Chains A and B, each alone.
Chain A
């Protein structure tokens, strides 16, 4: 079956603009996660969804970052007024029901803020 997909694969934007990143999890997976990976760095947790609700938003770096999930499926991560330090690869992952299960990652969106 289809894996986790993300779009766009690459995004170049100017400082101050808003961007939206999309994640399509594996069908039937109720848990969805967003991570950020800066060049040569590890995976930084941003937010977790269980269904449409986000019990843990503790990793969002600032109030410029927000995310939503609708219909228990697609999720959108929005970054407002982008800054150069937002440049990174944004990875989405999903698991069947909970964190203690295999998380399947998408290919990521490479964001470059000029």
Chain B
């Protein structure tokens, strides 16, 4: 079945420290893995994504790594700032009936960056 597990559910770090959020997916055909950030009361917004043909992607303080063999992918935020505080969702594309037509989301990680 389709499933994405996300850990931890909550994460508290000191400003300037790094934060790592991990996800595991079940569909070996998944080939697209986005990460969304949702601030309180706001809509989810894409912060970074990775496709199955690469193992790592960076964008300033944010990086994502992908291990297709283990079906794991992770979000890394370095030099965290208070404005990074939000709920982060991972997702994996899912193929049904031969067509990839949706994303399955993890349950979210509440990141709190303490000043």
Q: Do A and B come from one complex?
A: yes
What is A's interface to B at a CB cutoff of 8 Å?
A: 33, 35, 41-45, 48, 50, 55-56, 58, 91, 98-100, 102-108
Q: Is the CB of A55 within 8 A of B103?
A: no
Does more than half of chain B's interface fall in helix, strand or loop, or is it mixed?
strand
Q: Is the CB of A45 within 8 A of B102?
A: yes
CA distance A91 to B32 in the complex (A): 21
Query: Which of A41, A43, A55 makes the CB contact (< 8 A) with B97?
Result: A55
- Chain A nearest CB, measured from B104 CB (Å): 7
The proximity string for B residues 26-55 relative to A, scoring 1 for CB distances below 8 Å and 0 otherwise, is: 000001101010000011111001010000
Task: Determine whether B101 belongs to the interface, using a CB cutoff of 8 Å to chain A.
Answer: yes
- Chain A nearest CB, measured from B12 CB (Å): 17
CA distance A45 to B1 in the complex (A): 14
- Chain B nearest CB, measured from A97 CB (Å): 11
Task: Determine whether B89 belongs to the interface, using a CB cutoff of 8 Å to chain A.
Answer: yes
Residues facing A in B88-115 (CB within 8 A) are 89, 91, 93-94, 96-97, 99-108
- Chain B nearest CB, measured from A77 CB (Å): 16
Q: Is the CB of B102 within 8 A of A48?
A: yes
* 13 A-B pairs in the complex with CB atoms less than 8 angstroms apart: A33-B102, A45-B103, A50-B101, A55-B96, A55-B97, A55-B101, A56-B96, A56-B102, A58-B96, A99-B103, A102-B46, A102-B49, A108-B43
